[in-house]
């Protein structure tokens, strides 16, 4: 295994680490804010995954240059990532505003105290 192939797999390892850290936080933490932080970690993992997929060695970035169009990478994954970032902002904002409402009504943001629906 050369240094280069290790470097090429590094983004994917980071993706796995970020995604599983986020999932762990969502599943096992009791603090609502921490759960939302876990979701943000997963979002970043998914975005990094898409960007790493879009990388083609030796190709040019899809911006206006004199390079041949066949030498440019497909910008689809980048577009998808940008969309996902924007959506991520919206969902995180909505989730945080829910937490503010929960704190108002329940006086706590611990998941053990926030279970009136089951009654």
Partner 1 sequence: MSFDIMLHTPTFALAVPLLFAFLTILLSKFSKKVGDVTFLLGLLLTGYFVFLMSYRIFTDGGWVYTFGAEEPITLNFFRITFIADGFAALATITIAITAIAAGIYSFGYLQKKMPSDKFYTLFLLTLGGVNGMVLTGDLFNLFVWFEVTSVASCALIAYENHRGRSVEAALKYMVLSVVGGLIVLFSIGLLYGQYGVLNYALLSGNISRIFLDKLALGLLLVIFAMKASSVPMHMWAPDAYGEAPGPATPFIAITSLGSLFVLFRLLFGVFGVGMDTAAVGAVLVILGVLSMFVGVTMALVQDDLKRLIAYLSVSQVGYMTMAVGVGLATLNTVEYQNFGELAMKGGFFHMINDGVYKALLFLSAVTVVHKTDLRSLNDLGGLAHKMPYTTVFFLVGAVSIAGIPPMSGFSSKLLIYRSVYLYNPILAVIALVVSIITFAIMGKVFFNAFLGPDQGLTDGEVSKLMLSGMAILTAMVIVFTLFPGLVVSELVTPAIEALSEGVIP
Pairwise CA distance, residues 90 & 103, whole Å: 20
Residues that bind partner 1 (CB under 8 A): 19, 23, 26, 32, 35, 39, 42-43, 45-46, 49-50, 53, 74, 76-77, 79-80, 83-84, 87, 90-91, 94-95, 98-99, 101-102, 104-106, 114-117
**Which string of b and e fits 40-53 if b means at least 16 CB within 10 Å?**
bbbbbbbbbbbebe
Residue 97, judged by CB atoms within 10 A of its CB (0-12, 13-18, 19+), counts as exposed
In whole angstroms, how close is the CB of 43 to partner 1 at the nearest point? 6
In whole angstroms, how close is the CB of 113 to partner 1 at the nearest point? 10
Helix, strand, coil % over all residues of the chain, rounded to 5? 70, 5, 25
Q: Which is nearer to partner 1, 6 or 93 (CB)?
A: 93
Q: Which is nearer to partner 1, 6 or 16 (CB)?
A: 16
Q: Which is nearer to partner 1, 3 or 68 (CB)?
A: 68
In whole angstroms, how close is the CB of 3 to partner 1 at the nearest point? 23
């Amino acid at each position: 295994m050369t240094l280069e192939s290790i470097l090429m797999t590094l983004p994917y390892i980071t993706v796995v680490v970020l995604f599983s850290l986020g999932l762990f936080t969502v599943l096992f933490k009791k603090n609502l804010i921490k759960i939302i932080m876990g979701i943000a970690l997963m979002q970043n993992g998914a975005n990094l995954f898409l960007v790493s997929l879009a990388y083609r060695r030796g190709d040019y970035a899809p911006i206006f240059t004199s390079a041949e169009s066949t030498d440019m990478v497909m910008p689809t994954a980048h577009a998808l990532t940008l969309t996902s970032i924007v959506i991520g902002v919206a969902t995180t904002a909505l989730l945080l505003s829910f937490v503010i409402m929960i704190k108002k009504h329940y006086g706590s943001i611990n998941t053990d105290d926030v279970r009136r629906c089951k009654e």
